[in-house]
């Protein structure tokens, strides 16, 4: 990486971490509940189902499933803590990414959670939506939250990859997330997240491990779709980075 690219990348990372810290500070209301520990472990399980993308040795994981579930179940601040800490642990200890990448991905995950949570509340729903009668009919706020989570997540990753590779964010998005299977795979993962949250609210957290198998199947299908793309599509001239 050239000196200019390194500077650009570090600026993007610093801004992302700062925004995440400000968002977390503005979202916390007292001491996080004990449930944060459970959701951190659940999100970590999703982060362990990962594979590499074509550009800049970026990776994608199935962590979005449990991140989105935490977004629906927890208040905004605790959900940001659970998701971000799981990303940081997985990327530093398992994937062995450089600290700058690990902290960036933790920060952009927190921002994705914040965006999804704000969209959920803007749509007239809150985390209590899952435990109320007829909540299945109130899917529009959940869909809006999923779209916002996805756009912020993929957008942040594309921006930092563009900075490090000297390409446009649109090119980084197209190379890493431009496959025909992308929307289907990501939609499936987020839909599983909704299922996790709903099942946990209705039946208890003991049922949540049953969602790991379909998540593994989704991960394998997504990985094969990315691997089957022509090698030329992955040449630069993008949990993420």
Whether pLDDT at 140 is above 70: yes
* Residue 218: inside a domain: yes
Residue 132 domain-assigned?
no
* Residue 138 maps to a domain: no
Is 238 a domain residue? no
**Residue 232 corresponds to which tokens in the numbers above?**
């030329």
Task: Answer whether 215's CB lies under 8 Å from 75's CB.
Answer: no
pTM: 0.87
Nearest CA-CA partner of 162 in 52, 236, 111, 106: 236
Full DSSP string of 173-188: HHHHH-STTHHHHHHH
**pLDDT tens column, 197-226:** 888 777 777 777 788 888 888 888 888 877
Torsion over CA: 24, 30, 35, 40 (sign): positive
Location of structure tokens 């099942």: 199
Instruction: Classify residue 88: in a domain, yes or no.
Output: yes
Residue 100 sits in which domain range?
3-27+34-125+149-229
Q: Say yes or no to pLDDT of 135 above 80.
A: no
Number of separate domains in the chain: 1
| Cα angle, residue 41 at apex, residues 136 and 57 outer, rounded to 5° | 100
Task: Note whether residue 144 is domain-resident.
Answer: no
pLDDT tens per residue across span 24-66:
999 998 888 888 999 999 999 999 998 887 766 678 889 999 9
Residue 234 pLDDT more than 60? Answer: no
Residue 142 lies in a domain: no
Residue 236 domain-assigned (yes or no) = no
């Amino acid at each position: 990486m050239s000196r200019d690219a390194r500077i650009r990348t570090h600026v993007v990372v610093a801004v992302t971490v700062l925004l995440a810290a400000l968002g977390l500070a503005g979202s916390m209301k007292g001491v996080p509940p004990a449930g944060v520990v459970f959701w951190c472990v659940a999100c970590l399980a999703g982060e362990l189902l990962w594979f590499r993308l074509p550009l800049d040795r970026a990776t994608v994981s199935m962590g979005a499933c449990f991140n989105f579930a935490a977004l629906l179940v927890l208040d905004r601040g605790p959900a940001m803590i659970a998701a971000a800490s799981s990303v940081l642990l997985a990327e530093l200890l398992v994937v062995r990414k450089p600290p700058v990448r690990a902290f960036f991905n933790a920060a952009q995950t927190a921002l994705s959670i914040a965006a999804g949570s704000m969209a959920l509340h803007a749509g007239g729903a809150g985390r209590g939506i899952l435990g109320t009668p007829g909540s299945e009919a109130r899917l529009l706020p959940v869909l809006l939250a999923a779209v916002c989570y996805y756009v912020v997540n993929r957008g942040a990753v594309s921006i930092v990859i563009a900075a490090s590779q000297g390409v446009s964010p649109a090119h980084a998005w197209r190379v890493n997330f431009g496959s025909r299977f992308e929307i289907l795979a990501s939609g499936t993962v987020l839909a599983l997240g909704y299922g996790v949250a709903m099942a946990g609210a209705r039946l208890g957290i003991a049922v949540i491990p049953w969602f790991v198998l379909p998540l593994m199947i989704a991960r394998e299908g997504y990985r094969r779709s990315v691997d089957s793309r022509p090698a030329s599509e992955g040449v630069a001239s993008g949990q993420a980075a």
